[in-house]
Structure 1
Amino acid sequence: MADLQTAAPAAKGTKPRAKKHAFRLDMTPMVDLAFLLLTFFMLTTTFSKPTIMEVAMPDPKGETDVPASGALTVLLDKNHTVHYFYGLNSTTEPAQLHTTSFGTDGLRKVLLQFRQKKGMVLIKASDKAEYRSMVDALDEMNITDTPKYALVDLAPADKQLLAQAK
């Protein structure tokens, strides 16, 4: 509250003068109001919810029941490179490896074309692949609305195929 200080009474016989009042403003109510508003807005706002991505991990035994005709295998390698082939790779039937990028006319285009076949995408990362490559591949799965994809370990036949591509 504002305090008013009164001056001492004037002596007799002198002309009365206007009283000068010292003014002091009390800031307590304004600070109380500021903290009440701050508390109100903090309690009534909705905090940003963390965005999560559901990933269905494959069978821990390593068995996949994906037919070779309905599979697209994406191999992630060092230097943010992406290789892919259609079907499953085996030592008896080696796959034909293609190389692309993470751009809109790269992996995304391949995934959009493959989505019409309604198959499953197998994502395999080599030991030298960056974490960023895996995140970018999963982002492409979400962007293209790929219904079925799985993260799978790299097979020895796939390692040979990557070694031949270099």
Structure 2
Amino acid sequence: MKFRRQRTDEDSVNLTPLIDVVFLLLIFFMVSTTFTKETHLTVTLPESSGEAQPQVQEPLIVVIGADGSYGINGKGLVNSKASTLRLALEEIAGDNREQALIITADAKTPHQSVVTAMDVAGQLGFVNLSITTQAPGES
């Protein structure tokens, strides 16, 4: 007697859901990508006829002593009030607020004096403000 063997299907992986997910991801990234249009302008620059003269301005140096007294460019002020410092800076700088302003303070200067000088400079519109420091080990 001959028995028929039952034919069994081999287990196989169904790839249809995987392909669907890949296509959905592809569509998502295509839709969510932003495309920028690159534009270039052709500019013909004019030639200069002379040399540019660099305008080097001496910075304003505000020195603050250990007692909180102010000095500008080596000249002491009559008192240590903010209004006096403001008037002196306005007089020396004129309308030039682009000029560098350097604040140099003694190590024992009260912090309030430095903050007052910075406030006055900010109120006057100085944009190039620096505070000098000393590297460790220097005297």
TM-score (norm 2): 0.48
TM-score (norm 1): 0.41
